Structure 1
Amino acid sequence: MILTELKKGQSATIVKIDAQQALKDRLKSMGVCKGEVLTVRGCSLAKQTMEIEIEGTLVALRAEEAKKIEVEK
């Protein structure tokens, strides 16, 4: 399942990030990496951005970035 399919309040584990290395590195610097558990805290109207929480850190992602993150409930 893709991160954008989760609803507010749902949690999941990251299983894969299908992106170019530059984006993977940027996400990793914010704690978004394979094996981490995340929780969706909110979404903008039309789901253009998502706010997720990983280990107490809030991270905002664009929809294009979130679509590249595969998760498992």
Structure 2
Amino acid sequence: MNTMTLLSACTKGGIATVVKINATGALKQRLISFGLMKGVDIMMLECGLTKSTFEIKVGNVNLALRREEAELIEVCNVR
């Protein structure tokens, strides 16, 4: 499936490919420094009960994101 969606809509255990990061400035630079960039596959490890926090795996790095941050990341090929 090639439909684009937001990272915050992914479910636990899902793998997706980053299409675009809509963040700017320091946040965008921080995400890139952790390896989160266009074309990279990510895995959703955990999401809070209220989906207010997300833990994702990018390469060998685990990242915790707030909902607001996860909604800035567009993904596709969700599987």
Bin the TM-score by the shorter chain.
over 0.9
Q: Deviations over 1:5-63 (max 9, x none)?
A: 11000000000001112211010111111111000000112011100001121110000
Structure 2: which 5+ runs fail to align? Answer: none
1:46 and 2:50 correspond: yes
User: Over aligned residue pairs, what C-alpha RMSD do you find?
Assistant: 0.8
Name the residue aligned to 2:16. 12
Structure 1: which 5+ runs fail to align? Answer: none
> What is the distance in 2 between the residues matched to 1:54 and 1:43?
15
> What is the distance in 1 between the residues matched to 2:22 and 2:42?
17
> What is the distance in 1 between the residues matched to 2:32 and 2:48?
23
Name the residue aligned to 1:29. 33
State the SS of the aligned residue for 1:47: coil
State the SS of the aligned residue for 2:46: strand
Instruction: In structure 2, give the amino acid aligned to 1:50.
Output: F
Task: Pick the aligned partner of 1:66 from 60, 64, 70.
Answer: 70
How many aligned positions are there? 73
